[in-house]
Chains A and B, each alone.
Chain A
Amino acid sequence: MAEQSQWNNLIEDWQACEVAKLDDKQSQIDIKTLQENTRKRAGKMRLFMWLDVITTLIALIVFGYLLTTDINLHQAIIFAGVMVIIIPVAFYSVWVRRGLWEANGNDTKAYLDLAHGRAVAGMKLAQVNIIAAYTAFPFIIAVVMWRGYVKFDEVDWPFNIFVFGALFEFALMVGMIIGARYYQRKKRAELVRLEKMKQELD
């Protein structure tokens, strides 16, 4: 009885409690800013989706062009090799995120499942990007250096386009791997917290 009365008092105090700074902000809700933010976020999502699709299409077109025109063997090998990686990665990234775009108006349990699914998908995508980087870039570097080796007598060593090209690809590979690993760490931490919350609900 005393506990119930204490609880009722707490409810009264709670509902009378104000969080000053946030309440001040809330009194100036700017719908235009909200619309703008929503539009920007939706635009960003669309941009990433289209980038996935356009990158794949460009790669396909270039590959098709290279197959039907007079190209050098090295270019053909690079594009063929990269295509073998880009196309499956693009399809996998769409497949792994299927069903994860729903709005967040569901109950906590359903939302935790959704957030968990998103975090797992994020980690998988990061892992695939790391594997793709470890596969594609050494392959490109090898072909570029092979091409440089074929023209060994025609170019200055070590300051030539092939060496710079290989170094550039190497830098890209390192950047991509560092970025994907950072993203993966963030998602893993998120996953640990989500799993803890899911356990609380089970």
Chain B
Amino acid sequence: MLAEAVTLADMTSYETLFETAIRDHQASLSRIVATYELNPHLQQELHQEILLAIWKSLANFRGDSSLHTFVFKVAHNQAINHVSRHARVPHHESIDNPLPSDSACPEMSAINSQKMQLVFRAMHTLPVLQRQLLALSLEGLSYQELSEVTGLSESNVGVRLNRAKKALQEQLEKHHG
């Protein structure tokens, strides 16, 4: 009886932790999904996969890192998994290719700002790990947190992030002609 009560209490706190994690990162998770996947059907699939991965992984959350960093780690790993599995779907194009026009990306209408639609499309032309660094940095993660999520050293993160920013800038400039 006591064991049952403890289990129920644990379960309730687990659900609360999960709900907090999702509520606090709701918008961020949507942006992560859009960073890795443009196809609306696959976006829904990836979104569900991320929620499921967070639900399962929270059992391993020991508070060594912040919940913030933990959620981003799991979400990005799941997104990488998604990208590697959907091999037939082109996930990034050559950086020299022009950005697709608005009419070629109707699914982008889910994003509420035209400027941001352009940014997301530009990001999709970059290699996956540059996208990851950019997305995490734009979410406001520090170099230390980026290092925790990616497993790279802080100095390496700095170099790679600068490279990614330049690549993004080039893509945006190309689009503006």
Contact = CB atoms under 8 A, between A and B. Distances in A.
B30 interface: yes
B87 A108 contact: no
Contacts of A200: 127-130
A27 B27 CA distance: 10
Contacts of A19: 27, 30-31, 33-34, 43, 110-112
Contacts of A11: 137-138, 140
Contacts of A201: 129, 150-152
Interface in B97-122: 110-113, 115-116, 119
Interface in B72-102: 73-74, 76-78, 80-81, 83-85, 87-88, 91
A108 B79 CA distance: 11
Chain B CB within 10 A, most for which of A19, A41, A186, A197: A19
Majority DSSP secondary structure for residues of B touching A: helix
A107 B75 CA distance: 11
A155 B101 CA distance: 71
A72 B47 CA distance: 57
B129 A34 contact: no
B151 A104 contact: no
A116 to B, nearest CB: 9
Contacts of B128: 197, 200
A90 to B, nearest CB: 26
A126 to B, nearest CB: 15
B113 A111 contact: no
A70 B148 CA distance: 66
B21 to A, nearest CB: 10
Contacts of B40: 21
Contacts of B85: 190
B167 interface: no
B8 to A, nearest CB: 14
A197 B129 contact: yes
Contacts, number: 157
Contacts of A189: 87-88
Interface residues on B, range: 35 or more
Interface in B1-51: 15, 18-19, 22, 26-27, 29-31, 33-34, 40, 43-44, 47-48, 51
Given A14-B139, A108-B150, A111-B77, A31 B15 contact: yes
Contacts of A18: 27, 30, 111-112
Contacts of B138: 10-11, 14-15
12 contacts: A7-B165, A19-B112, A20-B110, A31-B15, A31-B18, A105-B70, A106-B73, A108-B151, A189-B87, A197-B129, A200-B128, A201-B150
Given A38-B56, A107-B149, A108-B151, 6 more contacts: A10-B119, A11-B140, A15-B27, A115-B84, A189-B88, A200-B127
Interface of B: 15, 18-19, 22, 26-27, 29-31, 33-34, 40, 43-44, 47-48, 51-53, 55-57, 59-61, 70, 73-74, 76-78, 80-81, 83-85, 87-88, 91, 110-113, 115-116, 119, 127-130, 132, 137-140, 148-152, 165, 169
Interface of A: 3, 7, 10-11, 13-23, 25-27, 29, 31, 34-35, 37-38, 41, 103-112, 115, 119, 186, 189-190, 192-194, 196-197, 200-201
In the complex, the 4 A-B pairs of residues with the closest C-beta atoms, listed nearest first: A109-B151, A189-B87, A107-B151, A19-B30
